[in-house]
Amino acid sequence: MSAEMQSYIDEAEQALLHTYNRYQVVFDKGEGVYLYDMDGKRYLDFVSGIAVFALGYHNTEYNDALKAQIDKIIHTSNYYYNAPAIEAAKKLKEISGMDRVFFTNSGAEAIEGAIKTARKYGYLKDGRTDHEIIAMNHSFHGRTMGALSVTGNPHYRDAFEPMIGNIRFANLNDFDSVMAQVTDKTCAILFETVQGEGGIYPATEEFMRKVRTLCDERDILMILDEIQCGMGRTGEMFAWQRYGIKPDVMTTAKALGCGVPVGAFLMTEKVGQNSLAAGDHGTTYGGNPLACAAICKVIELFEKQKVLANVREVGAYLEKRLDELAAEFSCVETRRGVGLLQGLVFNRPVGDIITEAMEKGLVLINAGTSIIRFVPSLVIQKEHVDDMIAILRECIR
């Protein structure tokens, strides 16, 4: 590493709050599926800013759309209408089949909105103020207090108790465990369609259908967190679209703006008419013209560049190549995932493998201590998968 890059890292450790153990690299620019550090070293990127940069770095059309919006107006306020937000909401309705959109600044904030929606829906129904939400063990929904309260991982929560009240936990894909938590106070059941941070666990079709039926029968809201698994990552625009069901509320973020910080929570018309009303919720930045110009261009480019077809094709290829690794090495237990959201499960910690991959010019990330997670850009090609597998094989060896 150059003295210059090292001095930046030293300064970072003096200035930034130490909430991350960062890899020893300063990334400077990106091109397609490659990142370059300050010293000009090139890295093949299988993280894409944690499932964010779906269209690849330095996408000219995307960049030009943002530049054009910057020259018009970056921000107004949600007290006024703006054209990019209207267009982005229309497009988001089209690709999701949901009816009402609220734009946020992040994933966690979309979860906060979904929680408030559920509580208000319950309140309008029976006037009670002690409604419960059922969330899942091993889930991840973000770091704000509400999102943390529905995150089923004590490691993230313990030092920050007390959480918001009336959250109960069940196990994903174990419908009986959900039933055991249902009471007459339950207003929502919330989970990730594919658990991301918790270890790349897709919901089973049976679980999905049973939860949907239960929610219909008891007028409980089914809330799906699509922040990581949505926006094309599984080969469908949203992961739940594979299951032949529809949630009442869903959240999205990460790849939604492809790098511009933005999220959203969406709901059906019925929930929209019976939950948050004027004055109930707000945000200064959420859905500002710049963020929404990004969303519009992202959705447009997904269609133009046939991103979903690429995810299906390259995702299937990635599965096959990872399955080969799992068969080849006894320290690899299995592969799990859908499309370009994959996990390789080891019987040992993977930290040293990831560090060595960085040295060899490959960016990977973990999910928990013993899983390597693959969340590359959605425009990645088979030859990139081959290059990645070759480096990873050396590192495992």
Ligand X SMILES: *Cc1c(COP(=O)(O)O)cnc(C)c1O
Q: How far apart are CA 381 and CA 15, in angstroms?
A: 38
- In this complex, which beta carbon is closest to ligand X, that of residue 140 or of residue 243? 140
- From the list 96, 215, 196, the residue with the least C-alpha distance to 136 is 196
Question: What's the min distance (Å) between Cβ of 106 and ligand X?
Answer: 4
Question: What's the min distance (Å) between Cβ of 380 and ligand X?
Answer: 19
- In this complex, which beta carbon is closest to ligand X, that of residue 167 or of residue 395? 167
- In this complex, which beta carbon is closest to ligand X, that of residue 35 or of residue 108? 108
Residues that bind ligand X (CB under 6 A): 106-108, 111, 140-142, 192, 196-197, 225, 227-228, 253-254
Question: What's the min distance (Å) between Cβ of 304 and ligand X?
Answer: 26
| SS3 state of residue 366 | strand
- In this complex, which beta carbon is closest to ligand X, that of residue 196 or of residue 376? 196
Q: Other C-beta atoms within 10 Å of 324: how many?
A: 13
**Residue nearest ligand X (C-beta atom):** 107
Q: Are 260 and 296 in contact (CB under 8 A)?
A: no
Question: What's the min distance (Å) between Cβ of 195 and ligand X?
Answer: 8
- In this complex, which beta carbon is closest to ligand X, that of residue 338 or of residue 396? 338
Q: How far apart are CA 340 and CA 177, in angstroms?
A: 29
- In this complex, which beta carbon is closest to ligand X, that of residue 37 or of residue 197? 197
Q: Are 247 and 209 in contact (CB under 8 A)?
A: no
Question: What's the min distance (Å) between Cβ of 51 and ligand X?
Answer: 7
264 exposure class (CB count in 10 Å sphere: 0-12, 13-18, 19+) = buried
Q: How far apart are CA 155 and CA 234, in angstroms?
A: 28
In angstroms, what CA-CA distances link 246 with 173, 242, 243?
17, 10, 8
Q: Are 276 and 102 in contact (CB under 8 A)?
A: yes
Cis peptide before 162 (omega within 30 of 0): yes
Question: What's the min distance (Å) between Cβ of 255 and ligand X?
Answer: 11
Question: What's the min distance (Å) between Cβ of 109 and ligand X?
Answer: 7
- In this complex, which beta carbon is closest to ligand X, that of residue 26 or of residue 375? 375
